[in-house]
Structure 1
């Protein structure tokens, strides 16, 4: 074949190959989304029945929760003077103390069981005082009181059969904090790393937000989510819903309405992230059964639907932070 003919034949073959490539491109790889994370937490963690109820919910759904414990509930009326809040005399608390030595023992048992089941025990301080004007030294004093009382709770209250490893657990396991009333200040964020914490959950954001890490502290925020007929934003926490729905006064006759409104708000906030960017969704609760338990009923329905999904994880704050520390270590390594 003459040289020109060979070149022409090659060009035609190449053109045919190129045309085929344009006409039938390779199939695009499916985009794999990360799992949707939901972080559910409880403040104060007082009532024994609610400890049991929340742990049962976790067992049904595979969820892991964060319990922000108030340490005054590890002191009986007889041992209340073990706690002194910043600027107060000993034995003062905004939320009282445990009713009895037996109640303390029962609560300690629940804490141990929850920890053994993989749940996260965090600090809510002790006496539920507003620390907005506290200094770094004040915060460190409160953290020290929490640490001392948790670590020595069995001995302080004269409760026999302290579990092996309890004190080591108390020293090492608590790595997160949420301020009472979500009332934080600059002094708090100076004190947290000095006290050995890894995360704080005292923030509020306009919507679900990825938590930044500053000065070694990962800062989580409860989001404001649309709620009710007018879709007005409300902090995704049972107490804030209680105030929205009934002005902070019990209206048990409307509990069913409040259940539906709460569930609808949670589910809409979840669905938006699940179909979108999959930013972690945080929801906060107390052990108090406001409006005849409407908010817990909505929580159980919500968690029962979403936490069991294959591409959803209901995990604790500690779990979230641990994963990100591991990722950073892997990248650094």
Structure 2
């Protein structure tokens, strides 16, 4: 064997020996830590139109999602029964958003509420008359909460709708644990009244980006995040109405619905990916039952939810389910890293 051949053989042998000496023994390498599933919380304010109740429930069935519906209780009163509600500092029968069109509509809405609850969705409070309560006292807020509870519990009897489903009153007394303030308008008095009234979460906040909800006095406080949107990636609150104002100044532009839907979807997807590939902080998205800009924002929601809620490492859950899991000490579901 030539000298060069002997050197090459020695080098190969040395490398093989070194590799054997420094290789990790089988099974000694620690597994990568499990990552929490990405949580997405989708909610709807006011929860009025029957067609949108049906559409949202169908979306949930397709994707395995569970939603939170922030109900305005004036939609459980018709023009004949509107006097059952008296807002703080107002005369009876006043509302910023009207009332149900008829007793039949109330009946249909009650049916949708019951079906959604039976399917595992979260029924929460948006108050009643959609008034801005920034100047209300704690007592004012407690009056509003009491009105909501009374009207929900007695909705069948108030409107003369029969039969009342078995267990309805028990559901009305105990199922509603969350609140979102109209106009996202909050105050010290509101946050004093919420735990006093037995609420477990509030979803009226706004944050610069997705954040973990802090808990104060037993109340989890969620915030809709501002997310980058549009060609200049300017921040906007992740709610359909705010996008509607951003895109068209709050006026209908149906000819641009496709463009607005795509911009909304891209903003949602980018905000999702940022958390999904990062710290996996829960992402919250808010909607109404109104089809603004020819349904652009609902079209974007259905596209988004249809892609992300079906992922094995994503959970599209309600606010109630999220706080229940945290409160019980149950660890968030995780997936292999």
Same fold at TM > 0.5: yes
Q: Which residue in the other structure is 1:133 paired with? A: 135
The number of residues matched between the two structures is 313
Shift of 1:32: 1.5
Q: Which residue in the other structure is 2:50 paired with? A: 48
Q: How far apart, CA to CA, are the structure 2 residues paired with 1:129 and 1:22?
A: 71
Q: Which residue in the other structure is 2:74 paired with? A: 72
Which of 153, 157, 160 aligns to 1:158? It is 160
> What's the CA shift string for 1:147-190, capped at 9, x where partnerless?
00000000000001000000000000000000000001000110
Shift of 1:310: 0.3
Q: How far apart, CA to CA, are the structure 2 residues paired with 1:40 and 1:247?
A: 24
Q: How far apart, CA to CA, are the structure 1 residues paired with 2:250 and 2:35?
A: 40
Shift of 1:28: 3.5
> What's the CA shift string for 1:269-308, capped at 9, x where partnerless?
0011000100000000000000000000000000000000
Q: Which residue in the other structure is 1:225 paired with? A: 227
Q: Which residue in the other structure is 1:213 paired with? A: 215
Q: Which residue in the other structure is 1:24 paired with? A: 24
Q: How far apart, CA to CA, are the structure 2 residues paired with 1:217 and 1:20?
A: 58
Q: Which residue in the other structure is 2:196 paired with? A: 194
Q: Which residue in the other structure is 1:146 paired with? A: 148
Q: How far apart, CA to CA, are the structure 2 residues paired with 1:280 and 1:19?
A: 44
Q: Which residue in the other structure is 2:174 paired with? A: 172
Q: Which residue in the other structure is 2:121 paired with? A: 119
- DSSP 3-state at the match of 1:89: coil
- In structure 1, runs of 5+ residues without a counterpart are 1-17
- DSSP 3-state at the match of 1:163: coil
Shift of 1:27: 2.5
Q: Which residue in the other structure is 1:289 paired with? A: 291
- DSSP 3-state at the match of 1:292: helix
Q: How far apart, CA to CA, are the structure 1 residues paired with 2:20 and 2:120?
A: 56
Q: Which residue in the other structure is 2:61 paired with? A: 59
Q: How far apart, CA to CA, are the structure 1 residues paired with 2:105 and 2:39?
A: 34
- In structure 2, runs of 5+ residues without a counterpart are 1-17, 332-337
Over aligned residues, Cα RMSD in angstroms? 1.5
Q: How far apart, CA to CA, are the structure 1 residues paired with 2:171 and 2:35?
A: 36
Shift of 1:89: 0.2
Q: How far apart, CA to CA, are the structure 2 residues paired with 1:22 and 1:296?
A: 57
Q: How far apart, CA to CA, are the structure 2 residues paired with 1:199 and 1:21?
A: 57
Shift of 1:87: 0.3
Q: How far apart, CA to CA, are the structure 2 residues paired with 1:24 and 1:65?
A: 48
Compute the TM-score of the two structures, normalised by the length of structure 2.
Answer: 0.91
Compute the TM-score of the two structures, normalised by the length of structure 1.
Answer: 0.92
Match status 1:99 vs 2:105? no
Q: Which residue in the other structure is 1:9 paired with? A: none
